[in-house]
Chains A and B, each alone.
Chain A
Amino acid sequence: MSAGGLASGKPDGEWLRVHPATPFVRGWVALAAIGYFFGRDSFERMLQGQPLIDDRLAGRAPWLLGAGALMLVLAVLSFILSWYFTRYQVAEGYVRVNTGFLFKQQRQARLDRVQAIDIVQPLLARIFGLAELKFEVADAGESAVRLAYLRIGDARQLRATILARASGVRLDPAQPEAAAPEAPEQQVLQVPPSRLFGSLLLSEQTVFIVLGAAASVVLSALTENRAFFLYLIPAVLGFVAAYWSSFNKGYNFTAAISPDGIRLRYGLLDTQAQTLPPGRIQALKVAQPPLWRLFGWYRMQVNAAGYGAGANNGEAGSRTTLLPVGKWEDVLNMLALVLPDPGTADPVRVFQQGVNGLDSDGGFVTTPRRARLLAPLGWRRNAFAATDTALLMRSGRWWRQLVVVPHQRTQSIALQQGPLARRFGLADLVLHTTAGPVAPRVIQADLREAQGLFDAQAARARAARRRQTSEQWLAQVDQRPTPAPQQEGQQRG
């Protein structure tokens, strides 16, 4: 591997430290807590016009001050030591990070195993122009490599370097010292704040809140207990916090495509920029809560190997969101990015049927009519369809959803049948994928169809695995920056 160099043309393989301001950006909470603890009492006394230090404590003041100062010094020292001993290196196809001075840890991750790279900027880091870089590999747990904090420019440069190495792009042999250029990108969509706001107002959460509020008003009227509302204050605060966090996370959501993969950017105070290299998305879900149908809005979520499960966990929840709220054209655009080759002649119609359709239009195979007792609403919706490159599973009459799994991402497949399903000659087919918010499952399919799909899907996954040869996406065949269905979608939109 030729020497590409990191930021500002440093030689390859040099061990670097993160930015010196890191300890303070990271530890400001601890410092603030110490300051608050020792300062509050004095401050209150000052407001009350009393002497700064309690008379009873006055004799011991030097000791207290000394203890406080010692704690402060220890905290600062430990932050500085942890900064000093944290070093990283990108060389020979690996990224390595050494941390710790008492308990040392050395970690290395293969660059071509990268599943996703995120650049995260919490508010304080953003003020200082710093950013955290997260490097994800296929491991359910925490991020493989976290570098906090780098200068934002250095973080971008490092991301470009890592992605360039991981993609197997050929560096210019004439200028081995030149830093890897950032891959050009093209913006695909943007979510306006008004739509995000509307989507939050019409979310499931809001429905529950309205129902809960109505119930509590009725209850308080019936019991004539005026103080009842007081108990609701914590709940209201919780909901406000939840709405705020959704708004903060989803604000100014933009998606762009580059040869390095899909770039997602979002955030109001804390901003985040995710890069999902091509072919790293394991499964995808397009969902529509009932109220969103008024405006034709959809939500898209993905399973990516590095992001792990934690659908309820705020951070993972936002990272697995491919589109917080979007119109049908946006959905088609994102589908085109994730699935550049949809494997059918008429992808727009097939996906349209998958998301909104009923019955067998577009090649879908539904739950047989004899099972309509088992699924009176859903039997015309529950369906699957296989294209040359992916399996589509749709379900839900009111909470509509479509799950898409590329054939080459199928891990294992299980055919399941319980006693009730056996009565109706049905079976479920479960596709296992990495942890995440999407759980692909063909519900209540005819037993014959399910068996056929089981065999066919195993064969298709096998063929797709054969075609996929390398983890380095640019080293593979051609790559398509502007996929075909995207244009079709825009014409339709």
Chain B
Amino acid sequence: MPTAAIDPPGITWLRVSPKYVTVRLVEWALGNLVMVAVLSLPLVFVRLGWWRWPPLWLAIGLPAFMLLLALWRLVLIPRQVRAIGYAEREDDLLIRGGIFFQRVMVVPYGRMQYVDISAGPVERGLGLCTLKLHTASAGTNAGIPGLPAAEGARLREQLSARGEARLAGL
């Protein structure tokens, strides 16, 4: 399947830290393995003879299918992380992400209402943080995950300063 990038040409993207893969792996493990384990429970019960339903093929098929999906997602993680990028232009910030479902977003500095920095336990352990931009629109779902903490702080200061200089009304 062709996955040519859709972003406008001539932009040098800054990439997020490769360590962010670890964060995604932990999230993946928590989400998918737990789900596969839960979906495997009927299989165990059926094998033990506690349950008569579902039939064996379904009890095997469903968790196996979910496991395949989970593995597929696992394989994609490094590429997804590599696909995340951001670029500071003179008047706006560009953010891109996704491989199959690609998205490029432009957020003008003057439109930013506030900037969030957050870090979960895994991110904090790796010295990473997630930066989130908020505009007056709820549709602006602009986050840059996996930034090194220093880069995150620099970016936040930079964005605040530029936002103040170019502040526009609504």
Shortest Cβ gap from A470 to chain B (Å): 8
Cα-based distance from A461 to B105 in the complex (angstroms): 14
Chain B residues, CB < 8 A from A488: none
**Are A419 and B91 neighbours in the complex by a CB distance under 8 Å?**
no
**Are B111 and A411 neighbours in the complex by a CB distance under 8 Å?**
yes
Q: Tell me whether A432 and B140 are in contact in the complex, defined as CB-CB below 8 angstroms, given that A409-B170, A419-B100, A458-B106 are known contacts.
A: yes
A369 CB–B CB distance under 8 Å = no
B165 CB–A CB distance under 8 Å = no
- In the complex, which residues 96-111 of chain B have their Cβ closer than 8 Å to any Cβ of chain A? 100-108, 110-111
Shortest Cβ gap from A447 to chain B (Å): 6
**Are B8 and A412 neighbours in the complex by a CB distance under 8 Å?**
no
Shortest Cβ gap from B54 to chain A (Å): 32
Shortest Cβ gap from B140 to chain A (Å): 5
Chain B residues, CB < 8 A from A419: 1, 100-101
**Are B6 and A417 neighbours in the complex by a CB distance under 8 Å?**
yes
The stretch among B26-34, B57-65, B74-82, B131-139 that forms the contact with chain A is: B131-139
A484 CB–B CB distance under 8 Å = no
Q: Mark B135-170, 1 if CB is under 8 A from A, else 0.
A: 111111010000000000000000000000010111
**Are A282 and B106 neighbours in the complex by a CB distance under 8 Å?**
no
Q: Is the interface of B mostly helix, strand, loop or mixed?
A: loop
A140 CB–B CB distance under 8 Å = yes
A415 CB–B CB distance under 8 Å = yes
Cα-based distance from A179 to B66 in the complex (angstroms): 71
**CB within 8 A of A434: which of B102, B105, B107, B137?**
B137
Count of A interface residues, CB-CB < 8 Å = 38
Query: Which of B7, B105, B142 has the most chain A CB atoms closer than 10 A to its own CB?
Result: B105
B92 CB–A CB distance under 8 Å = yes
Shortest Cβ gap from B99 to chain A (Å): 9
Cα-based distance from A433 to B136 in the complex (angstroms): 7
Residue of B whose beta carbon sits closest to that of A439: B139
**Are A414 and B170 neighbours in the complex by a CB distance under 8 Å?**
no
A78 CB–B CB distance under 8 Å = no
- In the complex, which residues 276-322 of chain A have their Cβ closer than 8 Å to any Cβ of chain B? 280, 282, 305, 309
Q: Tell me whether A465 and B170 are in contact in the complex, defined as CB-CB below 8 angstroms, given that A138-B136, A414-B104 are known contacts.
A: no
Chain A residues, CB < 8 A from B91: 458, 462
**CB within 8 A of B106: which of A417, A427, A447, A454?**
A454
**Are A415 and B104 neighbours in the complex by a CB distance under 8 Å?**
yes
Q: Tell me whether A305 and B136 are in contact in the complex, defined as CB-CB below 8 angstroms, given that A413-B106, A417-B102, A461-B108 are known contacts.
A: yes
Shortest Cβ gap from B23 to chain A (Å): 24
A468 CB–B CB distance under 8 Å = yes
A422 CB–B CB distance under 8 Å = yes
Q: List 8 A-B contacts (CB under 8 A).
A: A305-B136, A418-B100, A432-B135, A433-B137, A434-B170, A458-B92, A461-B108, A462-B91
Chain A residues, CB < 8 A from B103: 414-417
Cα-based distance from A309 to B4 in the complex (angstroms): 36
**Are B138 and A435 neighbours in the complex by a CB distance under 8 Å?**
yes
Cα-based distance from A451 to B4 in the complex (angstroms): 13
Cα-based distance from A439 to B139 in the complex (angstroms): 9
B125 CB–A CB distance under 8 Å = no
Chain A residues, CB < 8 A from B120: none
**Are A415 and B169 neighbours in the complex by a CB distance under 8 Å?**
no
